[in-house]
Structure 1
Amino acid sequence: MNRRSEIAGVEVTTIQRWQHRGAMKVGQLGSGKVRSYSLSDAIHLAIIAGLAKMGLSITGSGETLSTGLHMYACMHLREHGHLDNFAPVALTPDGDDWLTQPNFDTVHPERQYVVMRMRGIVREVFQRINLQRSQSAKAMEKARPHRRAFCHLSRYF
């Protein structure tokens, strides 16, 4: 859970509290009773964190909203494979619920709305993953300096 917490940019205790409140489903148990989480889970957590930072509910209709935004992000990544043209989403209040509108042309000019910058949220998750990978690679190089020397020597043979 620590790794997922770092990737999503959310404290472990916050994740546990959100899971307890029902804002996100608990990951499945993997080997050794360790829960397994995916990149998709980290993106979902980052979206929940974005909603919470804006002061929006993350349970009840907020859980439905975060799940919908999460599915939108996953669908965009699956279809396009990149973050280009990943539009922000306008969230328009509708009673106790929120309407999501990826196309700002359809937002009524007199209605209030909140903007979720989806590309920024997902990009931050990817940046944290890349940072973790580079830190892991540096740590491995420090732990195994002989491996680096072997790699350099193997170029000559």
Structure 2
Amino acid sequence: MDLKEIQNLIKFVAKSGASEVKLEMDDVKITIRTGSDNETTIVQQVPVQAAAPVVQQQAAAPVAAAPEAPAATAPTTDDSKYITVKSPIIGTFYRKPAPDKPVFVEVGTEIKEGDVLCVIEAMKLFNEIESEVSGKIVKVLVDDSSPVEFDQPLFLVDPS
């Protein structure tokens, strides 16, 4: 099981509302627990005797996978002339440098290469995400304080 599959599993469990999921496959044992902070994740590579994958869930979650597909395809259909700024890391997306400060960019803001667009918190570190293009912010695709995945679209920029 590679890192991308583990990240997708964590995202799925967080959205599903399950309180705990255990997965055992060959040499990997993963336990994902969600609580009040939704951040407790334990990943261990341990020799396991069971040859077949075993998945235990305390809450049903098959409905959570269905809403993702339409949301992922919607922005690309009518916004093909815009440049998409994507997340370079996994973490929590913030539009402001601090709760009492103004947002970095709004829809309609003119940006240039190197301007800070947002911050993404990963493992208690706040990473400034800078623009790699110049243009005008057309759309903010992520809500403030929400989790983002690697390569997830964050902003649409009109380069003209």
TM-score under structure 2 length normalisation? 0.24
TM-score under structure 1 length normalisation? 0.24
Say which one has the larger Rg: 1
Select the structure that is richer in strand: 2
